[in-house]
Amino acid sequence: MTVDANAKTSGSSTAADDTPYAIEVQHIVKKYGDFIAVDDVSFNVKEGEIFGLLGPNGAGKSTLIRMMTTLIPITSGTAWVAGHDVAKEPNAARRMIGVIPQALTSDLDLTVEENLNIYAKLYDVPAKERKRSIDELLGLVDLTKWRDAQTKTLSGGMRRRLEIARGLVHHPKIFFLDEPTTGLDPVSRVAVWEMLGNIKSHRQLTILITTHYMDEADRLCDRIAIVDHGKLVALDSPMALKASVPGSNVIEAQFEDPPEDWEQRLHTLDEVTSVQHEGAGMYRVLTGNGSRTTTELVEMAVEAGVEVKSLSVQNTTLDDVFVHYTGRQLRDELQKAYAFVMPQSPGLRP
Ligand SMILES: Nc1ncnc2c1ncn2[C@@H]1O[C@H](COP(=O)(O)OP(=O)(O)OP(=O)(O)O)[C@@H](O)[C@H]1O
Ligand SMILES: [Mg+2]
């Protein structure tokens, strides 16, 4: 992390490679009564970066976005966007940012174009520029054919794309998106991310995005901050985060009626750094040597007379990074997210 709280006197700091910071957050705190929703979080986002905020339900992702986008007051600490202190110059900050909130907010009774027009007027985009910008954005989000359709006739994925276009009508420099793909089917999710990539190649944008989907974040984010219980627990590029977890392969194996001490026995295999029991005889084993551990695991099962029902070996994923730093799983299905998993290394969590 590149935070130097003492050096900060204006909103024009740069990263070590001289890229200016688009967002600078320093020691930011949000309290609701006695409850601390965001607890002393600091990070910087470079101009042009796609920066991901990852964390389970209630981690504080939306609260962070709301503070950075002037929607709620900051309890303490500072946030600068495009060089403006959001607490002291909220209007200047607002002109530089586009925001897609977590809930869908386009007006269902208006057409696609009307929804975009209202926003463009709200942001004082001149009439001539309005039409040009809306035409361009409809093309970028692939909704040109639907410009006269009533918004209520659109699918969830199309509405998300409309909201992405709407957030960009006033040519913001920084785009905040709060879970733009949650609830979408896999095909629509890919379409939304492709659109964001497409938009970024057409416009100079810094993107800060929250998501529950680790695979998306892995592919698309330059850097990722993991938040949990209001605290920042890890921040780096997806590759560096994965490298920071002990073990380079994940073996997922399902056994028929394994004995009670199976988890402990899996732990004793060579190079194994952690074992999670996921229920129904399924185990997730992190290892520094996938092939050797797989061989030993199969031998151990044969010796113990335990049938191996399925077996797969993969590289470490961001899911493993999340478990490592938070001690819990974060999967697409959030009902699984709170399965208790003992982390091998206590990491940064108390
Ligand atoms: N207005 C409020 N009053 C009191 N508590 C709040 C308020 N808004 C949020 N919180 C609490 O702050 C914590 C962080 O909430 P936040 O919405 O930022 O989480 P999140 O990471 O965005 O979660 P999700 O993935 O579910 O969207 C939660 O425990 C939430 O209940
Ligand atoms: Mg949220």
**246-315 has the same fold as 5-241:** no
Are 86 and 93 in contact, with CB atoms under 8 Å apart?
A: yes
Binned at pLDDT 50, 70 and 90, residue 84 comes out as very high
Are 100 and 177 in contact, with CB atoms under 8 Å apart?
A: yes
Ligand nearest to the CA of 54: 1
The alpha helices in 227-267, defined as continuous H runs, are 238-243, 262-267
The DSSP H or E segment spanning 249 is: strand 249-255
Tens digits of per-residue pLDDT, 243-269? 888 777 889 999 999 999 999 999 999
- Global pTM reads 0.80
Task: For domain 246-315, give the fold.
Answer: Alpha-Beta Plaits (3.30.70)
Measured from the Cα of 227, ligand 1's closest atom is 21
Q: How far apart are CA 132 and CA 63, in angstroms?
A: 34
Q: In terms of Cα–Cα distance, which of 253, 254, 225 is closest to 237?
A: 225
- 231 CB under 6 A from ligand 1? no
Binned at pLDDT 50, 70 and 90, residue 121 comes out as very high
- 58 CB under 6 A from ligand 1? yes
Tens digits of per-residue pLDDT, 6-36? 344 445 577 777 888 999 999 999 999 999 9
Mean pLDDT of the chain: 86
Domain boundaries, the chain: 5-241, 246-315
Atom 10, ligand 1: residue with shortest CA distance: 37
- 63 CB under 6 A from ligand 1? yes
CATH class of 5-241: alpha beta
Q: How far apart are CA 248 and CA 285, in angstroms?
A: 11
